[in-house]
Amino acid sequence: MKLGARILKTGIAIVLSLYLGQLLHSPSPVFAGIAAIFAIQPTIYRSYLTIIEQIQGNLIGALLAVAFVLLLGNHIIVIGLAAIIVIAINLKLKLENTIGLSLVTLISIMETPGGNFIPFAGIRFSTIMIGVFSAFIVNLLFMPPRYENKLYFKMTSTTEEIIRWIRLSTRHDFDHNLLKSDIVKLKENIIQMNQFYTMYREERSYFKKKSLEKSRKLVIYRQMHSAAKKALDTLKRLHRFENELLHLPASFQQAIQEQLDCLIYHHEQLMLRFIGKIPTSPTDSENNVCLNKKQLFDLFLLHQQKFTEQDQPHLFHTMQIIASIIDYGEQVEHLDTLITSFHSYHHNEVLIEEDIL
């Protein structure tokens, strides 16, 4: 099992919140630990937003708890009614993420009112806020997340897997059922790539130079994501219309195979060139191997004339494959342009290190 940074940070935040609760002589430091669990977030920026939201949500829970106890007491039905109102207010204010901790605050304050109820409520509220601030401190100081690394390695591994399957598909050398199950996994990987991209975008840069570099990187990573999606679309077309491909003329099959080999090779080189492992762009001789959009479409039209009336379904399906290849090629070309432009400004200043956790 891989022990992630967030798991460790959650444990550290619980320890810190319990320690601070005991240090400040809180009668129930366990509530600080519970609050720390709710407040830990994957990024520093989200942790900051969580503090703002949790302060608002906990104030709502605390104020309603005090009001209901003073007006109606703390009967279990009253607690349930107060909980419904707390949830409704949080939803109205679009504070859905704070509902859980707001309810913890509400119940912890309403459970044991006594003669000094107002000071008791203040202590419980403060104890819970200790947990929230402990989570923020831990997220700020311990093991800051490096979502750029996670994003790049997820993109690289997913792209390599898609490229491997495309290479096998054009040669009809694969297990049909295995590819079908892997396509589902690759779709999930594409979704994870988007999540890592969002988290990396939320990370804040504190220096102007880094901020400008990151803005350009974000454009490239977004294009890497688009290129991977188009590669996956092409793979799905090859898988879906495998039978149609087998019935194409051998010369046309060979042309499609060579075009895809050229595209995936170019795609592989770009992923490495971005981090400086390939310092120069591909040579002109390598680029000329790939057909441009017009050449590929003309090749399709040339073979289209050989289709008979009974071959119309094959024609339409082949047209989808060619359109997907053209679209994939455009995405790869655009990625090439962006990476070339990036390196003209930053001179291979891309450092990607694999996380040890």
Buried b (16+ CB within 10 A) or exposed e, 305-321: eeeeeeeeebeeebeeb
Q: Is the pTM for the entire model greater than 0.75?
A: no
Query: Pick from 141, 170, 202: which residue ends a domain?
Result: 141
pLDDT (tens digit per residue) in 82-99: 999 999 999 998 888 888
Whether 213 and 121 map to the same domain: the answer is no
Does 185 reside within a domain? yes
Query: Pick from 112, 141, 170: which residue ends a domain?
Result: 141
Domain that includes residue 47, residue range: 5-141
Whether 319 and 170 map to the same domain: the answer is yes
Distance of CA 92 to the CA centre of its chain: 28
Distance CA 255, CA 278 (A): 28
Does 43 reside within a domain? yes
Whether 243 and 280 map to the same domain: the answer is yes
Does 352 reside within a domain? no
User: Which tokens hold the place of 320?
Assistant: 């989808």
Distance CA 132, CA 100 (A): 13
**How many Cβ atoms from other residues are within 10 Å of residue 152's Cβ?**
24
Q: Residue 151 to residues 165, 191, 225: CA-CA distances in angstroms?
A: 21, 11, 10
Query: Pick from 141, 162, 195: which residue ends a domain?
Result: 141
Burial class of residue 226, CB neighbours in 10 A (0-12, 13-18, 19+): middle
Domain total of the chain: 2
- Please give the residue that has the higher pLDDT: either 246 or 128: 128
Query: Domain holding 222: CATH number?
Result: 1.20.58.220
Whether 189 and 324 map to the same domain: the answer is yes
Does 245 reside within a domain? yes
Let me know: does 263 contact 290? Beta carbons within 8 Å: yes
**How many Cβ atoms from other residues are within 10 Å of residue 17's Cβ?**
31
Whether 156 and 86 map to the same domain: the answer is no
The pLDDT score that the predictor gives to residue 132 is 87
Does 351 reside within a domain? no
Whether 133 and 260 map to the same domain: the answer is no
The pLDDT score that the predictor gives to residue 147 is 80
Let me know: does 53 contact 95? Beta carbons within 8 Å: yes
Q: What is the sign of the dihedral through the CA atoms of 28, 126, 110 and 58? A: negative
Does 341 reside within a domain? yes
The pLDDT score that the predictor gives to residue 189 is 93
Q: What is the CA radius of gyration of the chain?
A: 29
Does 120 reside within a domain? yes
Whether 336 and 221 map to the same domain: the answer is yes
User: What's the pLDDT band for 305 if we cut at 50, 70, 90?
Assistant: low
- Of 269, 277, 296, 257, the C-alpha closest to 352 is 277
Whether 230 and 275 map to the same domain: the answer is yes
- E strand map for the chain: none
pLDDT (tens digit per residue) in 247-268: 777 877 888 888 889 899 999 9
Whether 131 and 151 map to the same domain: the answer is no
pLDDT (tens digit per residue) in 128-157: 889 888 888 888 777 666 788 888 999 999
pLDDT (tens digit per residue) in 99-138: 888 888 888 888 776 667 778 788 888 888 898 888 888 8
The pLDDT score that the predictor gives to residue 286 is 47
Q: What is the overall mean pLDDT for the chain?
A: 81
- Please give the residue that has the higher pLDDT: either 5 or 103: 103
Q: Poorest-confidence range of 18-22, 65-69, 138-142, 181-185?
A: 138-142
Q: Where are the alpha helices (DSSP H) in 40-98?
A: 44-72, 76-92
Whether 174 and 29 map to the same domain: the answer is no
Whether 165 and 57 map to the same domain: the answer is no
Would you give the DSSP letter of residue 310?
Answer: G
H or E element at residue 176? helix 176-202
The pLDDT score that the predictor gives to residue 285 is 42
Amino acid making up residue 57: G
In this predicted structure, the answer to whether residue 226 has a pLDDT above a threshold of 90 is yes
Count how many residues are written for the chain: 357
H or E element at residue 257? helix 250-274
- Of 109, 127, 125, the C-alpha closest to 24 is 127
Distance CA 232, CA 162 (A): 6
Whether 188 and 115 map to the same domain: the answer is no
User: Which tokens hold the place of 163?
Assistant: 């490229």
Does 171 reside within a domain? yes
- Of 253, 254, 194, 237, the C-alpha closest to 327 is 237
Buried b (16+ CB within 10 A) or exposed e, 242-257: eebbeebeeebbebbb
pLDDT (tens digit per residue) in 155-166: 999 999 999 999
